[in-house]
Amino acid sequence: MKGIILHGGHGTRLRPLTHTGPKQLLPIANKPMSQYCIESLREAGITDIAIIIGGLGAKKVEETYGQGEKLDVNLTYIMQDSPKGIAHAINLCRDFVGKEKFVVFLGDNIIQKSISKFADSFEKSSFDASILLCEVDNPSRFGIADVKDQKITKIMEKPVIPPTNLAVTGIYFLTQKIFNIIERLKPSGRNELEITDALQMLLEENHNISYEMITDYWKDTGTPEDIIHANSEILKNLQPYNFGIIENGASVTGKLIVGEGSIIKNDCRITGPAIIGKNCIIEPNTIIGPNTSIGDNSILSGCDVENSIIMSQCKIESKTKIRRSIISANSQLSQNKRNDKEQIFLLGEGTKITL
């Protein structure tokens, strides 16, 4: 079985975070979100993977992952010239997958559960497609499946009045039959070839589609709030370790990961789960966590950060309370006067702010 990861799109709901690169490279627990997709496929024994790239930051994806050697996979890059929909992107992979069954993974989807069982089951089955469903609180945001008597009866894209709360997650197990369907698809109202329309055509033409339920954590990270929530969930399940230095007088409670070369100085207070990358300096009187990620080579001094993501190469010298924030790489935030009011920041790469 082969794998496909969709890495395109403009990420408009995540601006300014996505002005300088694709949303799928935004870090969650100090790891690009699409790396979780690669690792999920690899864990299922799928190591021959195509990544669909296009638009702003396509080169960044190749620079980040190379040929996949660091992740023990073989990567092929396929260019999608413009965002014409998931089904269009899948159709670009016809030659790549050949006659094998394959799985498509949207690069901004985070799943905690292993897909190994699903992949093995589909590989051995006679189904023409299999989709993973998850119950959600806001079904109008997603493609939705209607299920009767344990069979899918209809699949629709973001219905105004959803018949169920069963979201079609961004993980699709497919066979060659999908290509014949895609060739006959018509663009949707947003001028894209929708995968939900393709799956619905499979149903209408009496092909066999199975489904599995995700009862663990799944998140489509389309908004800053989604990313912050996913960050907290991933951090909960990481195993703590310390490859840095925690000085006497620093207070640490809960799970904490500290990278090589990092120093947590005295009079700091850190509450896990939290992760601090490599070569960071956490100055005295700094409060971090819970549910906080600090990227490599960052310096924090005197600030109070909670439920937030600070990316690499950042310098935060602020006496404000930073909450539910995402601060992109190479940013600087400084403030001389103490402000006990909670602040929410959404800063693009290279931002410099003095308060």
Residue 23 has pLDDT above 90, yes or no: no
Beta bridge mates, 102: 2, 174
CATH of the domain at 97: 3.90.550.10
Tell me: do 151 and 260 sit in the same domain: no
Tell me: do 141 and 246 sit in the same domain: no
Rounded to whole angstroms, how far apart are CA atoms 79 and 58? 8
**At 11, is the pLDDT very low, low, confident or very high (cuts 50, 70, 90)?**
low
Tell me: do 242 and 314 sit in the same domain: yes
Rounded to whole angstroms, how far apart are CA atoms 221 and 276? 22
Rounded to whole angstroms, how far apart are CA atoms 237 and 110? 13
**At 22, is the pLDDT very low, low, confident or very high (cuts 50, 70, 90)?**
confident
> What pLDDT does 216 receive?
80
Determine, yes or no, domain membership for 339.
yes
Q: What angle do CA 213, 215, 219 make, to 5 degrees?
A: 95
**At 36, is the pLDDT very low, low, confident or very high (cuts 50, 70, 90)?**
very high
Tens of pLDDT, residue by residue over 57-98, are 888 999 999 999 999 999 999 999 887 899 999 999 999 999
Amino acid at 108: D
Tell me: do 85 and 215 sit in the same domain: yes
Residue 12 has pLDDT above 70, yes or no: no
Residue 15 has pLDDT above 80, yes or no: no
Tell me: do 19 and 125 sit in the same domain: yes
Determine, yes or no, domain membership for 228.
no
Rounded to whole angstroms, how far apart are CA atoms 313 and 279? 10
Q: Which of 170, 198, 223 is the last residue of a domain?
A: 223
Tell me: do 30 and 165 sit in the same domain: yes
Cβ contact 170:105 at 8 Å: yes
Rounded to whole angstroms, how far apart are CA atoms 35 and 328? 18
Determine, yes or no, domain membership for 292.
yes
* Overall number of domains in the chain: 2
Tell me: do 247 and 283 sit in the same domain: yes
Determine, yes or no, domain membership for 229.
no
Rounded to whole angstroms, how far apart are CA atoms 346 and 225? 11
Tell me: do 43 and 146 sit in the same domain: yes
Residue 339 has pLDDT above 80, yes or no: no
Tens of pLDDT, residue by residue over 198-232, are 999 999 999 999 999 988 888 878 889 999 999 99
Tell me: do 218 and 242 sit in the same domain: no
Determine, yes or no, domain membership for 233.
no
Q: What is the 3-state secondary structure (H, E, C) of the chain?
A: CEEEEECCCCCHHHCCCCCCCCHHHCEECCEEHHHHHHHHHHHCCCCEEEEEECCCCHHHHHHHHCCCHHHCCEEEEEECCCCCCHHHHHHCCHHHHCCCCEEEEECCEEECCCCHHHHHHHHHCCCCEEEEEEECCCHHHCEEEEEECCEEEEEEECCCCCCCCEEEEEEEEECCHHHHHHHCCCCCCCCCCCHHHHHHHHHHCCCCEEEEECCCCEEECCCHHHHHHHHHHHHHHCCCEECCEECCCCEEECCEEECCCCEECCCCEEECCEEECCCCEECCCCEECCCEEECCCCEEECCEEECCEECCCCEEECCEEEECCEECCCCEEECCCCEEEEECCEECCCCEEEC
> What pLDDT does 31 receive?
96
**How many percent of the chain have pLDDT more than 70?**
99
Q: Which of 180, 197, 223 is the last residue of a domain?
A: 223
Determine, yes or no, domain membership for 121.
yes
Q: What is the largest CA-CA distance in the chain?
A: 68
Rounded to whole angstroms, how far apart are CA atoms 329 and 310? 8
Q: Which of 223, 251, 285 is the last residue of a domain?
A: 223
| 294 vs 15 pLDDT, higher one | 294
Q: What angle do CA 149, 152, 158 make, to 5 degrees?
A: 130
Determine, yes or no, domain membership for 230.
no
| Domain range for 207 | 2-223
Determine, yes or no, domain membership for 232.
no
Tell me: do 125 and 30 sit in the same domain: yes
From residue 173, alpha-carbon distances to 106, 111, 177, 182 in Å are 12, 15, 12, 15
> What pLDDT does 219 receive?
82
Cβ contact 104:85 at 8 Å: no
Tell me: do 183 and 328 sit in the same domain: no
User: What's the mean per-residue pLDDT of the chain?
Assistant: 92
- For the ranges 159-173, 223-237, 273-287, 341-355, the one whose mean pLDDT is highest: 273-287
- 113: which 2 tokens? 């559960």
Rounded to whole angstroms, how far apart are CA atoms 294 and 126? 46
Tell me: do 171 and 308 sit in the same domain: no
Instruction: Provide the whole-model pTM.
Output: 0.93
